[in-house]
Amino acid sequence: MNNMQQILARAQKLQAKVSETQKQLEKEIVTGTSGSGMVNITMTVKGNVQSISIDKKVISPEEKELLEDLIIAALNDAKTQADRIYEDGMKDITGGVQIPGLF
């Protein structure tokens, strides 16, 4: 019985640490870029877009499709960075072990 209580206590401690780390990571900011800096998108690791910056050179009716592609590429770049930061933060807590339902 004592072993089971120790396991449960460790699990609760780990869950609290995961929760704390998640809250800290949600405050992290990343910036995705595309088109050699023509489009920049800043967002939180959680995925909330904070700002979008677009170079005047790509704002014209003739460049509509290019601008759309650049925005998508910048969003994907920011998302990739955010995912990496989140995963690295969680690995620090779990030692790289994937625990289903924990995060």
Orientation of helix 64-94 relative to helix 2-25, angle to 10°: 150
- Residue 74 within a domain: yes
Domain count for the chain, please give it: 1
The answer to whether the CB of 41 falls within 8 A of the CB of 71 is: yes
pTM: 0.73
Work out the burial of residue 74: count CB atoms within 10 Å of its CB; fewer than 13 is exposed, 13-18 middle, 19 or more buried.
buried
- Residue 103 within a domain: no
The domain containing residue 87 runs over which residues?
Answer: 2-94
Segment holding 62, helix H or strand E: none
Domain with residue 52: its CATH number is 3.30.1310.10
* Predicted confidence (pLDDT) per residue in 64-103, tens digit: 999 999 999 999 999 999 999 988 888 877 776 666 655 5
- Residue 10 within a domain: yes
- Residue 8 within a domain: yes
